[in-house]
Amino acid sequence: MTRYVGRFAPSPTGPLHAGSLVAALASWLDARSCGGQWLLRIEDVDTPRCSAAAAHIILAQLCACGLAWDGEVLWQSTRSPRYQQALAALQQRQLAYPCGCTRRDIDAALAAQGRQHERHGERPYPGTCREGLNGKPARAWRFNTQKFMKNWPSAHMQKARSATFLIDKKQVHWQDRRLGEQQQDVAHEVGDFILHRADGLWAYQLAVVVDDGDQGVTDVVRGEDLADNTPRQMLLQAAWGLPAPRYLHLPLVRAADGEKLSKQQGAPAIDSSRPLQALAHAAAALGLPAAPKASSVADALAFWVAAWPRFYNRAP
Ligand code: GLU
């Protein structure tokens, strides 16, 4: 059996809800059914939105649900020096540049190019500061997607071809275990994305890739809402010479109105006093069969571990 290191990486902006429990359960089942490790990482880089209290509730909820993790919990808020070092490595190669644009500047530049669309509430960055700040003060650091894609050497491309993704001149192509063949033109659709934010916080893309790399994560199992971030993360993995994990993006749990369940929209916390019921809902959302009646949490989990490979095969 090949080495398997999985992880669950919640942002502690609130307790686990039915949707985040699906990601926790699925990543745990995938790891355990492979005899692998399952790590827990608290993604608390966005300090104004996160709280230690929420993080501790999440740990207690996972324990109540029998989802035991391996080793120490990694807290992103302790990792600033490491993120700084990772950014410096890109700065040295001119793959990161300072940006002085405000949102309003970005909107104006997009409008001037006849591109006004917003993408999932994000503006594709039109590259205004790529060649210099033009006297503006630096606010954020961005990844030079265009330069990286242009200079991606064919030898690296060969190496990437055998992995889970392939970078050609324009597109990042990758295989998702559930969604199949995916591709994205990052330079056009997203642009040069943020690594270090104007408010001084580390960007999710940078922190997640550095940590998955440092923790030796081989398999990322998470909600489908994050699938769109994967090509950006693959570019950073390639830039830092990190191996790309396999990816499995899970079906999203929707509220009655069809919206994705989210803490921002006040999705209720799972009821940890009835862990079996919460787990049964999460398992049903994943399309797994119901555990036999009167199972304990441990028995139900063992039942789903055994069932898992029939529903979510590990290839590619
Ligand atoms: N921290 C992210 C979230 O809670 C998940 C990151 C990931 O799994 O890559 O949405």
Same domain assignment for residues 24 and 85: no
Q: In terms of pLDDT, which residue wins out, 93 or 167? A: 93
Q: How far is the CA of 236 from the centre of ligand 1 (A)?
A: 16
Same domain assignment for residues 273 and 227: no
* Domain assignment of residue 21, yes or no: yes
Residue of 222, 233, 252 to test ligand 1 pocket, by largest number of atoms within 8 Å of CB:
222
Same domain assignment for residues 298 and 232: no
Residue of 43, 62, 219, 263 to test ligand 1 pocket, by largest number of atoms within 8 Å of CB:
43
* Domain assignment of residue 58, yes or no: yes
* Domain assignment of residue 246, yes or no: no
Q: Does the pLDDT of residue 157 top 70, yes or no?
A: no
Q: How far apart are CA 27 and CA 6, in angstroms?
A: 7
Ligand 1 binding pocket includes 37 (Cβ within 6 Å) = no
* Domain assignment of residue 244, yes or no: no
Ligand 1 binding pocket includes 14 (Cβ within 6 Å) = no
How confident is residue 114, by pLDDT bands cut at 50, 70 and 90? confident
Same domain assignment for residues 100 and 210: yes
Residue of 208, 236, 250, 263 to test ligand 1 pocket, by largest number of atoms within 8 Å of CB:
208
Q: How far is the CA of 251 from the centre of ligand 1 (A)?
A: 15
Same domain assignment for residues 211 and 282: no
Neighbours of 295 (CB within 10 A): 17
Counting from 1 in the atom list of ligand 1, the atom nearest the Cα of 8 is 8
Same domain assignment for residues 86 and 227: yes
Q: Does the pLDDT of residue 202 top 90, yes or no?
A: yes
Phi then psi dihedrals of residue 242, to 5 deg:
-95, 150
CATH code: domain of residue 118: 3.40.50.620
Residue nearest to atom 6 of ligand 1 (CA): 9
Tokens of 206: 């940078």
* pLDDT per position as a tens digit, 29-73: 999 999 999 999 999 999 999 999 999 999 999 999 999 999 999
* Domain assignment of residue 243, yes or no: no
* Domain assignment of residue 86, yes or no: yes
Q: How far apart are CA 236 and CA 242, in angstroms?
A: 8
Same domain assignment for residues 131 and 24: no
Domain coverage including residue 15: 1-78+253-316
Same domain assignment for residues 15 and 111: no
Last residue in a domain, options 205, 237, 269: 237
Q: What is the mean pLDDT of the chain?
A: 90
Same domain assignment for residues 231 and 94: yes
Ligand 1 binding pocket includes 222 (Cβ within 6 Å) = yes
First to last CA, the chain: 15
* Domain assignment of residue 242, yes or no: no
Q: Which residues pair with 7 in a beta bridge?
A: 39
Residue of 21, 62, 77, 204 to test ligand 1 pocket, by largest number of atoms within 8 Å of CB:
204
pLDDT of residue 290: 96
Q: How many structural domains comprise the chain?
A: 2
The secondary structure of residue 130, as a DSSP letter, is: T
Same domain assignment for residues 74 and 85: no
* pLDDT per position as a tens digit, 15-31: 999 999 999 999 999 99
* Domain assignment of residue 245, yes or no: no
Ligand 1 binding pocket includes 208 (Cβ within 6 Å) = yes
Q: Does the pLDDT of residue 282 top 70, yes or no?
A: yes
Same domain assignment for residues 64 and 122: no
Lowest-confidence pick of 166-180, 254-268, 270-284: 254-268
* pLDDT per position as a tens digit, 171-180: 888 999 999 9
- CA 43-222-213 angle, to 5 degrees, is 60
How confident is residue 285, by pLDDT bands cut at 50, 70 and 90? very high
Ligand 1 binding pocket includes 9 (Cβ within 6 Å) = yes
Same domain assignment for residues 89 and 111: yes
